């Protein structure tokens, strides 16, 4: 088994990575550190720059992940500011923002993988779907959008179909791409 560190303050993300990478014989160790994100950076830049900076700082082979939710009604938005938008508007504000608008949306995850002194590689995962008109499911502070995001091809939110999220989510897709690439190395 190969061990790679996952630099994140969100332990739930590390657990999701462990499950996704286990079939590739990769063990994830949670490293509770983050690099301050630059304002207006893309999720790709945040993941790549964070992985390179933290790999050099810790002298460890590691991953940095960033995810954004993108509303088709507002191109590029909220993107890397997804967490801040939710903290400021809550569900009522988010749902009101989309009232009368196109409700299609997608999650995009960027995983930066780096070794000390090396350029990071990026792995991208996308989940297409739509935003529900009302909350469906139980709130989880680690994944607050799961109760309003309906993956494409389904009628329920991720919160109500966790077994589907475990195999189709943006994060799982990105980790599978990483796992396949590492297996070839």
Task: Write out pLDDT tens, residues 90-105.
Answer: 999 999 999 999 999 9
Using the predicted structure, report yes or no on whether residue 40 has a pLDDT greater than 80. no
Q: State pTM to two decimals.
A: 0.92
- Prior bond of 114 cis (ω within 30°): no
Catalytic residue among 49, 56, 66, 72: 66
- By the 8 A CB rule, do 25 and 14 touch? no
118, HSE (Cβ side, Cα atoms, 13 Å): 13
**Residue 56 is among the residues annotated as catalytic for this protein:** no
CA atoms within 13 A on the CB side of 9: 6
């Amino acid at each position: 088994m190969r061990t790679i560190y996952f630099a994140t303050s969100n332990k739930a993300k590390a657990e999701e990575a462990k499950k996704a990478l286990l079939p590739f014989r990769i063990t994830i160790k949670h490293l509770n550190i983050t690099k301050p994100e630059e304002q207006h950076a893309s999720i790709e830049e945040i993941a790549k720059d964070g992985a390179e900076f933290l790999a050099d700082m810790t002298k460890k082979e590691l991953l940095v992940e960033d995810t954004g939710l993108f509303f088709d009604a507002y191109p590029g938005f909220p993107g890397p500011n997804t967490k801040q938008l939710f903290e400021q508007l809550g569900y009522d504000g988010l749902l009101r923002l989309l009232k009368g608008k196109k409700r299609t949306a997608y999650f995009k995850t960027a995983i930066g993988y780096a070794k000390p002194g090396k350029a990071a590689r990026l792995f991208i995962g996308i989940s297409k779907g739509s935003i529900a008109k009302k909350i469906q499911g139980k709130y989880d502070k680690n994944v607050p959008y799961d109760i309003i995001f309906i993956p494409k091809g389904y009628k329920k939110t991720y919160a109500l179909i966790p077994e589907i999220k475990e195999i189709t989510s943006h994060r799982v897709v990105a980790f599978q791409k990483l796992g396949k690439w590492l297996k070839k190395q």
